[in-house]
């Protein structure tokens, strides 16, 4: 199928009106920018002379930022440490008009910080400061109680699992079950180790490495892709699976529908950090605006193509997204090709 400019207008006009809840691992992304002119005499590594730095929302908080930039209301649930990074996260959320009312203060962990050193538009090294233990039972209960207090007042739910301990099997089962009983659209950005627990969701968005690992078969060609996509769809009893494939685009698998391939729309790639957050956020926002799943995948793919042209986690506004979609319509790039079974 192909999108028309008129249909783009219909979808984007409906976006930005939903309330979407995000449950997951919240983190702080730091970026240090500089230049390299010499190699260290102490070890064969570059010396980066830092000239500037910035801090951005990461993980589930970046998903929330993407949703908020599209205009939708956000309910963000997660845990942060009682530390300076947690305070900075709260300030960044408030700057984006995202409430911190549903965050849990967990004194047993430090707030996750990912620090990336960038020189000449290239990432030189990344350092992580974090605890990855599962939530203690009292914290888990608090988080679930806050989820249950809001589930009837949201239009969709996103589970953002970065494997940092917030998405426990108990929490995951309760969230999916509550969404299923209420017929709420629930989407998961997965972590490989938790795949067996992502059952009966509306959407799951692994990249091709995660999908292949979860199914037990490396995706090397179209036949592998079909086996993994259809196999995971059946194994997890999911409504849909969107496998992101980097420069090869995305492939959408739906129950009782032939799979669909969507070519990449990226023209320049500077930084893929946070691209998965953009994909799931834009997809769910589109679905909330009554786009069908193929249309939502095309919209999400366009949004991802825009954000990876920037350094650092980024989000896309509705006007910019609409412009990008219409440009692809003019260029004939929105035709999605079916994959032969």
Which two tokens mark 213?
């690992």
Q: Which of 25, 100, 161, 277 is labelled catalytic?
A: 277
Whether the Cβ atoms of residue 112 and residue 26 lie closer than 8 Å to each other: yes
d(CA 138, CA 165): 14
Helices (H), the chain: 5-14, 60-69, 84-95, 137-150, 169-182, 208-215, 222-236, 275-288, 293-307, 318-330
Q: CA geometry: angle at 329 spanning 314 and 72, to 5°?
A: 40
Please give the structure tokens belonging to residue 22.
């995000």
Give 199: exposed, middle or buried? Use CB within 10 Å, 0-12, 13-18, 19+.
Answer: middle
Q: Say if residue 224 is exposed, middle or buried (CB neighbours under 10 Å; 0-12, 13-18, 19+).
A: middle
DSSP line for 230-260: HHHHHHHT-SEEEEE-GGG-EEEEETTEEEE
Q: How many CA atoms lie within 13 A of 108 on its CB side?
A: 13
Alpha carbon distances (Å) from 297 to 55, 106, 336: 29, 36, 10
- Cα 184 to Cα 154: distance, rounded to the nearest angstrom: 8
C-alpha closest to that of 28 among 64, 62, 65, 75? 62
216: how many CB neighbours lie within 10 A of its CB?
8
Reference 229, options 202, 249, 258; nearest CA is 258
Buried b (16+ CB within 10 A) or exposed e, 274-312: bbbbbbbbbbbbbbbbebebbbbbbbbbbbbbbbbeebb
To the query of whether residue 277 is one of the catalytic residues in this protein, the response is yes
Catalytic residues: 277
């Amino acid at each position: 199928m192909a999108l028309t400019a008129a249909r783009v207008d219909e979808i984007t006009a409906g976006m930005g009106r939903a309330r979407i809840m995000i449950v997951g691992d919240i983190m702080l992304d730091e970026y240090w920018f500089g230049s390299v002119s010499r190699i260290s005499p102490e070890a064969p590594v570059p010396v980066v002379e830092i000239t500037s730095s910035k801090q951005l929302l990461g993980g589930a908080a970046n998903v929330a930022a993407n949703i908020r930039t599209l205009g939708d209301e956000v309910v963000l649930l997660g845990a942060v440490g009682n530390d300076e990074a947690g305070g900075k996260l709260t300030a960044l959320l408030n700057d984006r008009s995202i409430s911190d009312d549903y965050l849990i203060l967990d004194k047993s962990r430090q707030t996750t910080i990912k620090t990336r050193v960038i020189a000449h538009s290239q990432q030189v090294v990344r350092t992580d400061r974090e605890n990855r233990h599962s939530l203690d039972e009292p914290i888990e209960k608090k988080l679930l109680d806050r989820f249950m207090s809001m589930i009837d007042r949201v239009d969709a739910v996103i589970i953002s699992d970065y494997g940092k301990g917030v998405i426990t099997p108990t929490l995951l089962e309760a969230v999916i079950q509550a969404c299923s009983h209420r017929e709420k659209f629930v989407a998961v950005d997965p972590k490989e180790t938790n795949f067996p627990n992502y059952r009966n969701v509306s959407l799951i968005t692994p990249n091709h490495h995660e999908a292949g690992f979860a199914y037990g078969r490396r995706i090397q060609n179209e036949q592998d892709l079909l086996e993994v996509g259809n196999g995971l769809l059946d194994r997890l009893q999911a409504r849909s699976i969107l496998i992101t494939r980097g420069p090869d685009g995305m492939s959408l698998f739906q129950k009782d529908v032939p799979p669909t391939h969507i070519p990449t729309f990226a023209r320049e790639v500077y930084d893929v950090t946070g691209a998965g957050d953009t994909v799931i956020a834009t997809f769910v926002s589109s679905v909330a605006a009554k786009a069908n799943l193929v249309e939502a995948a095309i919209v999400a793919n366009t949004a991802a193509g825009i954000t990876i042209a920037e350094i650092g986690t980024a989000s896309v506004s509705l006007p910019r997204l609409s412009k990008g979609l219409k440009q692809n319509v003019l260029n004939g790039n929105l035709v999605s090709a079916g994959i032969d079974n």
